[in-house]
Amino acid sequence: MKKQLLVILLFLTFIHCYSQDTTNQYKINYYNQKVVKYLDREKMLSNYYKIDKEGIKIYATPAHKLNDSVEFKIKWEQLNEFNACIREGKNAAYFSSRKHGSIQSSAIKGDKTANYNHLKPLSGLKIAIDPGHMAGDFETGKLEMKSLNFKKDSINGLPDSIQIAEGMLTYATAILLKEKLEADGATVFLTRQKNGYTAFGKTFDDWLKDDYKNKVEELHKSGKLSTDKKNLMLSSKFTKRNKFLFFKDIELAKRADIINAFNPDFTVIIHFNVDETNTGWKAPGNKNYNMTFIGGAFMPGDLSSQEKRFEFLRMIATKDIEESILLSGASTEKFESILKVKTAGPTDAKYLREGCLTTEKKGVYCRNLQLTRYIHGPLVYGETLYQDNINECKALNKESDKTKNERIKEVAEAYYSGIKAYLNQGQ
């Protein structure tokens, strides 16, 4: 009898270990495949990470991996805890219950169940919108090199001259989308508070007046700028365009910071595209595509700082990539059906061929942009239509107040429908 019991006990122990092993084996395969598929663009980053029976490990350099000296390590049993730390638990639980259609009080903390309102189906949801670039006028668009200026050319079908600044289009789209989402009860945060404003709550010209000098001196003091560089930057030799290029990265970092501080359920980044092969954008072209970007596709050299390696780890260990594919996939489908513009395939632009990884959703590409890298949580980085397309530029040129432009209204509607389709998946 005793012997029998021992055999049963041994058998149970074996079953327990075996199931533990198979679960971990499943995770090891899943996360290793995920890195290869979405994160490691050139298949050259294997010396920076290891995913094995213990968990996920990140190394600062290949030499550190050889010595097994880890920089970050998440054991399998810590994976949920890590995810909860990255995304505040309350929002994540709420979001997953809402997305799958069952409003379970156990999943939603506080009074969110009591507040559920069928007339306001997005109440309780926090959405961040980043209207790309900053121009509120054509001159600033020129400074950013995010503008089009086509001369009137009746022979080639341009009855009027065209002046478009992308920052004005993205801001108007964001305002229209915000109105739609708020009407459904969502709480919406915009990184730019006014047309022409930057993420610093002021225009670029005001930032130059108020903050430029201090920022240069601050970076010099902290050792990030040499004295020569500082002196050059404060001299008249440093052009406004030079100052803008310095400002651009600082401002993108600010956008990611304020979005992460808002802790949204997801983020929508709005851009309008151009045909990169239409050199100099001196005349309209015929190409027109939509596409969306999400995080991933790290290149060799993209793991040079601890901050970047942390984001690499976050993308491996959270569902941010998986959810971004769903959000972006739903958006891309709506871009095509509502705007009547084709979705870009993986060979339709140089940066898609050379800097991106494809996903299982048509038109959704992993790309390691500053915002797709640093913004936490699911996101869609939309690049709707080509502004330099002959028909689009004529449509976008109408109305000085772009929120009244019919084409911009359609773009806002396409984002809105994409978001709704994403939220209704699985219901």
Nearer to Zn ion by Cβ, of 65 and 271: the residue is 271
Within 10 Å of residue 367's Cβ, how many Cβ atoms? 20
157-165, 194-202, 265-273, 403-411 -> range binding Zn ion (CB under 5 A): 265-273
Is residue 377 close enough to count as binding Zn ion by CB under 5 A?
no
- With tokens 């330099």, the residue in question is 388
Binding-residue total with Zn ion (CB under 5 A): 2
21-29, 128-136, 204-212, 370-378 -> range binding Zn ion (CB under 5 A): 128-136
CB of 270 to Zn ion, least distance (A): 9
Among 55, 124, 131, 132, binds Zn ion (CB under 5 A): 132
DSSP structural state of residue 285: B
HSE-up of residue 326 (Cα within 13 Å, Cβ side): 15
- CB-closest chain residue to Zn ion: 271
Q: In whole angstroms, what is the distance from residue 379 CA to residue 129 CA?
A: 10
Contact of 331 with 362, CB cutoff 8 Å: no
Is residue 192 close enough to count as binding Zn ion by CB under 5 A?
no
Is residue 136 close enough to count as binding Zn ion by CB under 5 A?
no
Nearer to Zn ion by Cβ, of 107 and 165: the residue is 165
Q: Residues in the chain, how many? A: 427
DSSP structural state of residue 398: S
Is residue 41 close enough to count as binding Zn ion by CB under 5 A?
no
Among 192, 271, 373, 407, binds Zn ion (CB under 5 A): 271
CB of 356 to Zn ion, least distance (A): 16
268-276, 322-330, 360-368, 373-381 -> range binding Zn ion (CB under 5 A): 268-276
Q: In whole angstroms, what is the distance from residue 121 CA to residue 137 CA?
A: 36
In DSSP terms, which residues pair with 2 in a beta bridge? none
CB of 271 to Zn ion, least distance (A): 4
Within 10 Å of residue 217's Cβ, how many Cβ atoms? 14
Q: Fill in the amino acid letter for 226.
A: S
Nearer to Zn ion by Cβ, of 126 and 146: the residue is 146
Nearest 5°: CA angle at 211, between 207 and 212? 90
3-state secondary structure 120-148: CCCCCCEEEEEECCCCCCHHHHHHHCCEE
Nearer to Zn ion by Cβ, of 59 and 272: the residue is 272
In DSSP terms, which residues pair with 149 in a beta bridge? 163
Nearer to Zn ion by Cβ, of 34 and 271: the residue is 271
Is residue 167 close enough to count as binding Zn ion by CB under 5 A?
no
Nearer to Zn ion by Cβ, of 97 and 288: the residue is 288
Binding site for Zn ion (CB under 5 A): 132, 271
